[in-house]
A and B are shown apart, each in its own frame.
Chain A
Amino acid sequence: MTKRLCIHGMGIHGMAVACLLAAVAVPASAADTITVASWGGTYQEAQTKAFFDPTAKELGITIKQDTTNGLDDVRLQVTGNAVKWDITELGADECARGSKEGLFEKLDYNVIDKSGINPKLVHDDWVGISYTSVVLIYRTDVFGDKGPKTWADFWNVEKFPGRRALSGSQATETLSVAALAKGIPIDKVYPVDIDGALQSVDKIRGHIDAWWTSGAQAMQLVKDGEVDMASIWNGRAGTLKKEGAPVSFSFDQGVLTADCMVIPKGSKNKDIAMKVLARFVSPDLQANLPLYVDNGPANEKAFETGKIPPERIKDINSAPENVKKQVLQDPEFWRDTLVEATEKFNNLIQQ
């Protein structure tokens, strides 16, 4: 199995290294087991099919799974000297913050091939794994096809009367769309002028009927017609559409937020984890992800593998065509500003 895949993948730069390592790992590692944690739900099921199962088979190891709540789980394990995960997924700004706190093992880019991954998502101790987009969704039974298309439209309560929801828990995302609502072009949003963005939030907050705190909640608000327009994660928006809800959304003025993977400091299977991570970010496995879920691959070479059908590519948020329409959220910007910005944001929306 391993051999066949390797020959198949030889043409792709970097695959040779991974194959070599796989070949070395196989004889000694039949009993090797590592634990990978992610967000659970349909996303983790997709990752299981796209990343975990193929990697386990190739390297001849067992990949056990767990679910995470985010950075505080990693912090708890690392500072408590009880690391039970060898790899875990996080949001990119969490990776940037955890890196500053020294919670992760250094990554070995001789093992992990970083080509094809946006340099903003390649760091000493964390690497990008997938993308989620924050998009504007509206109900077509209310607006037809003439709904709000831009964040400036969303902010325009006279032209687009209706009930609205924004994220109350993800201050970074709401501040990014608030900046876009002011008319700031997508390539000028970062670094975010936080006070300016807060002023923008201040203008709309009286018209917000719900500040959602989870993806499921955002979906429910739109699905049940509790709101007519909302900011929402593209995966949730895609699910609504598939379920036949009368909604419309596009990647125009979306906010691309990356997820990343890390090896928590003190992992007992660091070396195997490194090889596993190398496989997860490799173009051929990255190309599997959009076959199962709407989260786009972090490695743009995935689009060159030919695995993703062309008609599917246009629906993927990280496809080069779609990336151009969106703002890439800068994790390192939020690493340094998140706490202050979130507190100010909370003060504002809870007034």
Chain B
Amino acid sequence: MSLASASLSHAGRPDGALNADALRADARRESRGLLALLSPGLLLVFAVIIVPIGWLFWLSLFDEAGQLSAANYARFFEQASYIKTFVTTFKVAFVVTGACVLLGYPLAYMLSQLPRRAAGVCLIFVILPFWTSVLVRTYAWLVILQRKGLVNTWLIDLGVIGQPLPLANNFAGVVIGMTHIMLPFLVLPLYASMKSIDTDCLRAGMNLGASPAATFRQIFLPLSLPGLASGVVIVFVLCLGFFVTPALMGGGKVIMWAMRMEQTTSLYSNWGAGAALGVVLLGVTLALLGLFQWLLGARATGVWSQR
């Protein structure tokens, strides 16, 4: 915007080189100005995110005697439960993300097709659970899913099942509870991206003889993928750090990384033991984000070239 106005102000000069120089100087001034505007935010990020994380990393390099050592990281390989916890964490995150996609995509699609007013009302129902605490919602699920909970009592009374289904205090319970909490994080970005899809593209496809299914598959689906990808990334990353729901719904059998962090922090006298867990989770999460970004980038270019 201001770059455009800058080039305007120099538009009258006949000398091209001088003009280019002036433009460059303007651009530099512009970026300095932007940097100045950004600096409070950047400083804040540096002070409250970069420095503490750097410190966390630093702490993770010291053992209980305060000596520089790799003991905090070696523990992950010496004690089988850490790897197990790590695998469980990712397993839960994958399954919950998958469940959110299966439930959330049709929901977002339906919302995007509804008239504006009806969609607004439905969106309120999507957002509504945000206003209730995670703890309360998790307990509610426990009440619904446990052996003598609503679901099992009804199914047994109806004669559908003879024995209660194991829905709580196990992996299934964790996945159900977390999917409920995570669903809006997938639906909202997906809905926004679906709303921005140009309906003329769909009409054009139909016009050219594509069936509704083909239109959806070849036009709508690829165009909604960036929104889906950002939803998937948000859900997956949030899942990795979950604590309350697995702690309550897992019956102590589904130990996720955050729960282990809490335990390790109080078990060992050095902060490094817990810090190392944080560093590993952060590292793996960043690597995964990079991978997503790369895949998404490739995908987006693919869509572009198809056009």
Contact between chains at A350 and B148 (CB < 8 Å)? no
Contact between chains at B267 and A209 (CB < 8 Å)? no
> Closest CB-CB distance, A228 to chain B, in whole Å?
10
Closest to B247 in A: A213
Contact between chains at A350 and B255 (CB < 8 Å)? yes
Give the residue of A210, A221, A346 whose beta carbon is less than 8 angstroms from that of B81.
A346
Contact between chains at A211 and B251 (CB < 8 Å)? yes
Q: Which of A163, A165, A213 neighbours the largest number of chain B CB atoms within 10 Å of its CB?
A: A213
Does B5 belong to the interface (CB within 8 Å)?
no
Contact between chains at A343 and B81 (CB < 8 Å)? yes
Does A35 belong to the interface (CB within 8 Å)?
no
Does A308 belong to the interface (CB within 8 Å)?
no
In whole angstroms, how far apart are the Cα atoms of A189 and B259 in the complex?
30
Question: Interface 1/0s, chain B 247-263, versus A by CB < 8 A?
Answer: 11001110100010001
Closest to B80 in A: A347
Q: Give the size of the chain B interface in residues (CB under 8 angstroms).
A: 26
Contact between chains at B146 and A224 (CB < 8 Å)? yes
Give the residue of B146, B253, B268, B269 whose beta carbon is less than 8 angstroms from that of A226.
B146
Question: Interface 1/0s, chain A 163-195, versus B by CB < 8 A?
Answer: 101001100000000000000000000000000
Contact between chains at B267 and A350 (CB < 8 Å)? no
> Closest CB-CB distance, A146 to chain B, in whole Å?
22
Give the residue of B80, B148, B266 whose beta carbon is less than 8 angstroms from that of A225.
B148
Interface of A, secondary structure class, is mixed
A75 — which chain B residues lie within 8 A by C-beta?
A: 269
Give the residue of A70, A209, A225 whose beta carbon is less than 8 angstroms from that of B251.
A209
Known A225-B148, A350-B84; contact A338-B267, beta-carbon cutoff 8 A: yes
Contact between chains at B79 and A210 (CB < 8 Å)? no
Contact between chains at A339 and B268 (CB < 8 Å)? yes
Known A210-B251, A210-B252, A339-B268; contact A350-B263, beta-carbon cutoff 8 A: no
In whole angstroms, how far apart are the Cα atoms of A220 and B147 in the complex?
12
In whole angstroms, how far apart are the Cα atoms of A349 and B168 in the complex?
18
Does B60 belong to the interface (CB within 8 Å)?
no
Closest to B168 in A: A226
Q: Which of B81, B148, B168 neighbours the largest number of chain A CB atoms within 10 Å of its CB?
A: B81
> Closest CB-CB distance, B306 to chain A, in whole Å?
47
Closest to A339 in B: B267
Contact between chains at A101 and B251 (CB < 8 Å)? no
In whole angstroms, how far apart are the Cα atoms of A220 and B84 in the complex?
27
In whole angstroms, how far apart are the Cα atoms of A198 and B84 in the complex?
19
Contact between chains at A350 and B168 (CB < 8 Å)? no
> Closest CB-CB distance, A207 to chain B, in whole Å?
13
Give the residue of A71, A213, A226, A347 whose beta carbon is less than 8 angstroms from that of B252.
A213
Q: Which of A343, A347, A350 neighbours the largest number of chain B CB atoms within 10 Å of its CB?
A: A350
B263 — which chain A residues lie within 8 A by C-beta?
A: 169, 342, 346
> Closest CB-CB distance, B272 to chain A, in whole Å?
12
- A residues 63-84 touching B (CB-CB < 8 Å): 69-72, 75
Contact between chains at B253 and A211 (CB < 8 Å)? yes
> Closest CB-CB distance, B221 to chain A, in whole Å?
40
Known A71-B266, A226-B169; contact A346-B146, beta-carbon cutoff 8 A: no
Closest to B259 in A: A213
Contact between chains at A351 and B247 (CB < 8 Å)? no
Contact between chains at B79 and A346 (CB < 8 Å)? yes
Contact between chains at B147 and A350 (CB < 8 Å)? no
Question: Interface 1/0s, chain B 32-73, versus A by CB < 8 A?
Answer: 000000000000000000000000000000000000000000
Contact between chains at B169 and A347 (CB < 8 Å)? no
> Closest CB-CB distance, A154 to chain B, in whole Å?
17
Query: B residues within 8 Å of A by Cβ?
Result: 75, 79-81, 84-85, 142, 146-149, 168-169, 247-248, 251-253, 255, 259, 263, 265-269
What are 8 A-B contacts defined by CB distance under 8 Å?
A: A72-B265, A75-B269, A210-B253, A213-B259, A343-B81, A346-B263, A350-B80, A350-B85
17 more contacts with CB within 8 A, not counting A224-B149, A225-B148, A346-B263, are: A75-B269, A169-B252, A169-B263, A210-B169, A212-B251, A213-B259, A221-B169, A226-B147, A226-B148, A339-B268, A342-B263, A343-B75, A343-B79, A343-B81, A346-B79, A347-B81, A350-B80
